[in-house]
Amino acid sequence: MSIWAVIPVKPLNRAKSRLAHVLSPEQRFEFARMMLLQVLSVTINSPRITGVVVISRDTRAIGIAREMGAKTIQESSYSDLNPALERATSVLQAWRAGAILIIPADLPFINHVDIDGIVDASEEGTCVVLSTDRHADGTNVMFVRPPGLIEYAYGVGSFRRHIEAADNLGVLVTTYESERVMLDIDEPHDLEEYNRLVASGAYEHLKVFLPDMIT
């Protein structure tokens, strides 16, 4: 069965806007770029993943993805996350993908153990595997077989909506729990936790981003 990872990427120069009062624009750009590189590296090098698709309207993100060997889909300037994922799913359906694994570009701690765990958590046949955030509100990772099985409902409360969408179809939903997958970096307290973990020395491939003096 072919499993394709889809990584939606916001424009890197607009990423992490909720960190604007603690990180400079240059820091936020570099932080977003570094996290994208990490997620690309994990998915591209996973033996469980057939291929990786990055969908973005940011030409720099597209360029990074292509340099690393990922496929890319250039989005229009007016596209939102859910329509973008629908478009990527349509492409993968045309490529006869067996399953789709959606991973945002802001999960710096996700690793091959998580990829294996999510795929292993999937049941044979039609299924959905979900990983939520630390607030049990959003959807951090989603595995769907076959692609396009449920309608995407990303945004506030998406974890519950995705479970309901699968339940309405009578589809089995499995949850995968991992502290690494739960930690997406959106708010200043997320950045503090990120810096604490990186400073511990457990993640040598990442670097600390100290708050700048924003005026």
Domains of the chain: 3-199 (3.90.550.10)
CA–CA separation, 122 vs 141, rounded Å? 13
pLDDT confidence bin for 169, thresholds 50/70/90: very high
Residue closest to 86 by CA, chosen among 35, 152, 156, 184: 152
Residue closest to 9 by CA, chosen among 111, 104, 89: 104
Is the pLDDT score of 213 beyond 50? no
Query: For 70-113, how does the pLDDT look when each residue is reduced to its tens digit (9 = 90+)?
Result: 999 998 766 689 999 999 999 999 999 999 999 999 999 999 99
CA–CA separation, 139 vs 137, rounded Å? 7
CA 143 distance to own-chain centroid: 11
What percentage of residues in the chain have a pLDDT greater than 90? 87
CB 141 within 8 A of CB 131: yes
CB 50 within 8 A of CB 97: yes
Query: For 171-181, how does the pLDDT look when each residue is reduced to its tens digit (9 = 90+)?
Result: 989 999 999 99
| Average pLDDT over every residue of 143-161 | 96
Answer with the residue of higher pLDDT: 76 or 60: 60
Give the pLDDT confidence score for residue 78 in this predicted structure. Answer: 67
Residue with tokens 């077989």: 145
pTM, rounded to two decimals: 0.94
| Average pLDDT over every residue of 8-34 | 93
Exposed / middle / buried, residue 206 (Cβ in 10 Å: 0-12, 13-18, 19+): middle
